[in-house]
Amino acid sequence: MSRLDRLLVALVGLALAGVTVLLWRPAQQGAWAEVLVGAEVVRRLPLDHAQRIEIGGRLGTSVLEVAQGRVRFVDSPCPGKLCVHAGWLRHTGESSFCLPNGVGLRIAGLHEVYDAINF
């Protein structure tokens, strides 16, 4: 094996290691939360930065909270509070929507764990 061969083998080894990391990464938590008003994304909230924000919708203000890599509706001016009952969202692909107020939350990331959430 020449020096060039050895270099190529090393390159292939590195490339395969990279592919393995990319393809076999375990199910991971989302990287950020997308805040939707209607069907438009209006804010992106990093999940590693704890904060509480207010988003205006059709009926009033929805309050969202980010903490410990998760996000949730804390309050919303809808009567049913289904968005609040949905609780914490953590994994990419999870979402919750306050239809009356037209405000939604969706977890996004580079590698989505789920293609769709059934509920």
Partner 1 sequence: MSVNRILVLILLALALLACTGRSNAVFRDEFLAMGTLVSVSLYGVDEARVPGISRQIRDDFNYMDGAWHPWKAGPLGRVNELLPLQGRFSLPPSLKPVLLQARELSRQSEGLFNPAIGGLIKLWGFHRDEPPTGPPPPAAAIAELVAQKPSMDDLHIEGFGIRSDNPAVLLDFGGFAKGYAIDRVIERLKSLGIENVIVNAGGDLRAVGSKGDQPWRIGVRHPRAGGVLASLEIHGDESVFTSGDYERFYEYQGRRYHHIIDPRTGYPARDFVSVTVIHGSAAVADAASTALFVAGKRDWRRIAARMGVEQVMLVDDQGEIILTPAMAERVHFEVEPRPSLRVERLP
User: 47 exposed, middle or buried (CB, 10 Å; 0-12, 13-18, 19+)?
Assistant: buried
DSSP lists the bridge partners of residue 34 as: 44, 106
Stretch that binds partner 1, among 8-16, 48-56, 60-68 (CB under 8 A): 8-16
Question: What is the SS3 assignment for 109?
Answer: coil
Stretch that binds partner 1, among 10-18, 44-52, 60-68 (CB under 8 A): 10-18
| CA 23 to each of CA 27, 82, 111, 113: distance values in angstroms, whole numbers, following the listed order | 11, 35, 10, 12
Residue 91 in contact with partner 1, rule: CB under 8 A: yes
Residues 67-86 contacting partner 1, CB under 8 A: 72, 78-80, 82, 85-86
Name the site residues for partner 1 (rule: CB under 8 A). 1-2, 4-5, 8-9, 11-12, 15-16, 18-19, 22-23, 27, 36, 38-39, 72, 78-80, 82, 85-91, 93-95, 97, 99-100, 104, 113-119
